[in-house]
Every structure is written in structure tokens, then in C-alpha cells.
């Protein structure tokens, strides 16, 4: 017998639930949101069954409400994700993440020769939408798949 859905991951009182993360992407999101040393409860569901997606990941972050900029960053890795803001155990806001046109400062250019790695310049990356998003550096104009990006400014 399969348990009811609600029991798979425990409820949170106040915070954010990021649902419909493509399976395998939750850990990347933990990293970009800087949650690995977060001092409150983060519940991670990996490879949960999903009607719409087959399998999905899910994150519950106690005590933190995701802002729009952070939701954009999540969209890079999980363009289908939905963000639920929880207050006193109730969903008070629910929205789909949206791929931004560009991200500033967040991505460290993987091109070692890029000027942004040698001078204090804020990086700007344009998002190239697609099945898995790619990004283009404004300065060296190189295009990278997200998996090629190893460093982020958090």
C-alpha cells in the first residue's frame, strides 16, 4: 500500500516548498540557495513519484521565503518548478518560476581567460532557453551548458 502523498515529506510551519523540480536537480538548488550550511530544517525529497513528471524532487525550507531573484535562479535548474510560500502551515502564495533573460553576478564564468576572472567586473550571463538552458557570457561571449558552470557567487 502506498502512503498518502502528504506523508512523504513532513509539513513545515513557515517557509518555502519548491515542488516539481526535475528529478536529480534538488542538490544543485540546495547549492545555489546556499542551504548546505543553513541552520534550519531543510527537507529534501528525491525521486518522488509525480503524475505530471514521472519523478520529481522536492525541497521544503523552514523559515525562509524565496524571493523573486532566488526563484529565477531556481528556474535555471528547474524551469518547471513551482514555489509555495507557507505561513502558519498554509500556502499563502504559489507561483511558477520563470527563466530570467539574464543573471547578474550569480554565475562565475568558467572561461579562465575571461576578463571577469581577472578584474572585478560583475558577470552578466544571458539565458538561452531550451530543454536544458544554456548561458552566454556577456564579456567573453562563450556559451556554456549549466553543467559546465562549477562556481557561483552566493
Site residues for Zn ion per CB under 5 A = 109, 111, 114, 137, 139-140
On the 0-12 / 13-18 / 19+ scale of CB atoms within 10 A, 64 is middle
| Residue nearer to Zn ion on the CB measure, 26 or 109 | 109
Is-contact 21 53, C-beta < 8 A?
no
| Residue nearer to Zn ion on the CB measure, 46 or 108 | 108
Q: How far is the CB of 102 from Zn ion (least distance, A)?
A: 13
Q: How far is the CB of 117 from Zn ion (least distance, A)?
A: 7
* CA–CA dist 63, 40 (Å, integer): 7
Q: Which residues contact 46 (CB under 8 A, 6 or more apart)?
A: 23, 24, 26, 57
* CA–CA dist 65, 84 (Å, integer): 9
Q: How far is the CB of 63 from Zn ion (least distance, A)?
A: 36
Q: How far is the CB of 72 from Zn ion (least distance, A)?
A: 20
| Residue nearer to Zn ion on the CB measure, 50 or 111 | 111
| Residue nearer to Zn ion on the CB measure, 35 or 140 | 140
Amino acid at each position: 500500500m502506498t502512503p498518502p502523498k502528504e506523508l512523504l515529506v513532513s509539513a513545515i510551519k513557515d517557509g518555502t516548498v519548491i515542488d516539481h523540480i526535475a528529478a536529480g536537480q534538488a542538490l544543485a538548488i540546495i547549492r545555489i540557495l546556499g542551504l548546505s550550511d543553513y541552520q534550519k530544517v531543510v527537507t529534501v525529497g528525491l525521486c518522488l513519484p509525480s503524475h505530471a513528471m514521472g519523478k520529481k524532487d522536492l525541497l521544503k525550507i523552514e523559515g525562509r521565503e524565496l524571493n523573486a531573484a532566488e526563484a529565477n535562479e531556481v528556474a535555471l535548474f528547474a524551469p518547471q518548478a513551482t514555489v509555495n510560500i507557507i505561513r502558519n502551515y498554509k500556502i499563502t502564495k504559489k507561483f511558477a518560476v520563470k527563466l530570467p533573460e539574464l543573471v547578474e553576478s550569480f554565475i562565475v564564468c568558467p572561461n579562465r581567460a575571461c576578463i571577469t576572472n581577472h578584474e572585478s567586473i560583475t558577470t552578466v550571463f544571458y539565458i538561452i532557453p531550451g530543454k536544458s538552458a544554456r548561458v552566454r557570457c556577456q564579456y567573453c561571449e562563450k556559451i556554456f551548458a549549466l553543467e559546465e558552470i562549477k562556481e557561483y557567487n552566493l
